[in-house]
Chain A
Amino acid sequence: MFYIAICDDEKYFRIRERELVAKYMDSKSYKFRIDIYDSGIELLKEKSKIPQYDIIFLDINMKEIDGMKTAREIRKITREVYIVFVTAFITYAPEGYEVDAIRYLLKDDERIEKAIDECLETVIYKLNYVEHKHIFEFREGKVTVFFEDILYVESNLHKLIFHMAGNPDRKYTMYEKLDSIEDLLHDAGFCRIHKSCLVNLRYVEHVERYKAELLNGSSLAISKSRYIHTRDEWICYRGEI
């Protein structure tokens, strides 16, 4: 079951978007529910409902509070929902990146159908096939970890140390082989840069011979044999669309 919200202050587009989304979901025989909102304020009133949505379509040009502001408010509540902006122009709006929108769709009546199809396909693929979290049995106890919170995993004397992002002191340990963790995390944007280190590419700011600099200022060694592979993986990760 997919929960989808559409928020647009123009009636014509509200209805058109709902029609197109429903058409796509029906064609793939997915179960779904669509909620319609005619302004950002309406949507933000439903604080408890927002985290349930999988996808929110947001018109950027709305009166009172616009799509960008609405998106920022949504991100304060949840970072899991996929936000899709629907707009008359694609601009370089700097805030767009803060709120991590997956797509910008143009309100171009002839083309919007295909664009919505592509967008839904991408989102549903990510929802269904890409794992985001896992319950690990650490020595410190069972913990549900969001992959994006892991900074890097280091192996040290048969022990794995999970270094978490944000707080440098937050670490978990477990007895396990790095190879098996690599299999689990590979599709989540992790890269083995050294035989004893698996790093989350999300936090890599810069790669050079033979080290990776992380966003928090620390740096990790890359082994010579893995350098080219690491650099290419990192570049591809940065280019994900």
Chain B
Amino acid sequence: METHLYGVFYTIIYVLLCRMFIETFEEKRNISKKIYRDGAWICLTVMDYAVSVMLDSNIVLKEIVIMMLGILFMWGIFRQRITKIAILVILYQGICFVIDYIAVIVISKCFSAITIERLNEPLINLMIGILSQMLLICFIMLLRRYGVKKSSEMLTAMEWARFTVFPAFTIVVLIALLTNFEIPKSSSQKNILLCIAFGLLVMNLMVFHLINDILKREALIRENRLLIERAKNETGMYRVISENYEKQRKREHEHKNQMAFIAALARSNKIDEINHYLKEYNEEMIENTDLIDANHVIVNAVLNSKYKEAREKGIVFVVKVNDLSELRIKDEDIVLILSNLLSNAIEASTESNEPVVKLKFIRECHQIIISVVNTLSKEPCIIGNKFITTKEDTENHGIGIENIRETVEKNGGSCVIKYDESSFRFTILIPDQ
């Protein structure tokens, strides 16, 4: 009875690991309902166990049948090409063998307490099985970390190092259990030993899944924040554009009145008043008109609003643009890139002694070059491997830069960031064909 129980446990973990292994490479296509998939998992486990009990005497046949079952079910669950799934399942089986073999060799060579004869004792046999499954878990973790980069790449090196304490400690404990204990006589002692071993194994799996879930959620939250930030940018820009339009309409309307007024003054020969009036009018014009024209409505709207902002804050704003009328990047991407870059630059440079923001936005040889340089008051710091802030509150920083980076990469371009203690330079190149 107990042997059956442990056998079932063993099979469950075998199937779970196989699933983790395949998930490392393939996304599940959620076509069938969750309940069917769960049913399929249970079905596979039961059949695997039944096969391994019935065909215990014929190992080759057993393994072949188990692999066939694995391929069939995984194909049904993952809905990927059957050849791919077959390769992965066979690969998994191969890795299982190799790791089993390694576990047995290591144990029997390194620890004299375990002899070949004792390997056949059911307890030792099971313990080695658990050990090799533990090694397999480690292998899959390493694979996810260093081979196929997935969510675990979001862990920093330090967090990863802390996490590896779990599997490493488990392996040490398993080996210690195997080598340092006499085989207990009573079956209840045996059971406790096996429960501890299985418990450790399951705990590792749980922790691994827990961390993956947390990371997934974190990625989701981050994505949401990016989206919100993006939406804010866009609405801001649309507001500026519509305000501009409104202002222009008003000005047009006033224009008539002003001309009538000047005509009246002229009729009564009041030259001084006309001059005075015109001077005032000119000053107002400069205040309200767009000073920068790159032949692109959206670029102009962003540049002029940012220029005014910089001017009000006493920042020297250096601009180099050429004819951007034929840009093929989407308007919302331009708004996102430009307004984020310039807002960051303006914000960071205000604190410096001689605030300067320089912008180059040109299109030449079918490439778009956007470059923003600003002065800094202190060297920015890097958080994790994400950029970058000069501020205390790190929660919301780096979002702008990540948004820019994502948008640039979506358009097939690349970004380069360079900085020292007094200046920050962000350069973007996007092919425009």
Contact = CB atoms under 8 A, between A and B. Distances in A.
A233 to B, nearest CB: 8
A205 B429 CA distance: 12
B219 interface: no
Contacts of B311: 108, 111
B414 A104 contact: no
A94 B294 CA distance: 10
B414 A89 contact: no
A165 B136 CA distance: 60
For chain A, which range describes its interface: under 10, 10 to 19, 20 to 34, or 35 or more residues?
20 to 34
Contact of B373 (A114, A232, A241): A241
A115 B427 contact: no
Nearest to A91: B293
Contact of A89 (B293, B295, B322): B293
Contacts of B358: 241
B416 interface: yes
A119 B358 CA distance: 11
Nearest to A115: B316
A91 B293 CA distance: 5
Contacts of A89: 291-293
B362 A104 contact: no
B71 to A, nearest CB: 37
A92 B324 contact: yes
A67 B356 CA distance: 26
Contacts of B96: none
Given A90-B319, A94-B322, A241 B356 contact: no
B320 interface: yes
Interface residues of B, number: 37
B223 interface: no
Contact of A236 (B293, B319, B362, B425): B425
B361 to A, nearest CB: 10
Contact of A97 (B286, B362, B428): B362
Interface string A64-96: 000000000000000000000000111110101
Contacts of B364: 97
B109 to A, nearest CB: 41
A146 B69 CA distance: 73
B371 A239 contact: yes
Contact of A235 (B324, B325, B414): B414
Contacts of A94: 322-323
Interface in A89-139: 89-92, 94, 96-97, 103-104, 106, 108, 111, 114-115, 117-119
Nearest to B310: A111
Nearest to B299: A92
Q: Is the interface of A mostly helix, strand, loop or mixed?
A: mixed
B91 interface: no
B99 interface: no
Contacts of A240: 360, 371
Contacts of A236: 416, 418, 425, 427
Contact of B318 (A88, A92, A108, A115): A115
Among A96, A119, A206, A241, max chain B CB count under 10 A is at A241
Nearest to A87: B291
A231 B358 CA distance: 22
A177 interface: no
A97 B356 CA distance: 22
Contacts of B362: 97
B373 to A, nearest CB: 6
B356 A118 contact: yes
B183 interface: no
Contacts of A106: 291
A241 B320 contact: yes
Contacts of A108: 286, 291, 311
A231 B294 contact: no
A66 B364 CA distance: 25
A68 to B, nearest CB: 13
B91 to A, nearest CB: 29
10 contacts: A89-B291, A89-B292, A90-B319, A92-B324, A118-B316, A232-B414, A236-B418, A238-B427, A239-B369, A241-B359
A-B pairs, top 5 by smallest CB distance, nearest first, are A239-B371, A239-B427, A92-B323, A241-B358, A232-B416
Given A205-B365, A239-B369, 12 more contacts: A88-B291, A89-B291, A89-B292, A92-B324, A117-B316, A118-B354, A232-B414, A235-B369, A235-B429, A238-B371, A239-B425, A239-B429
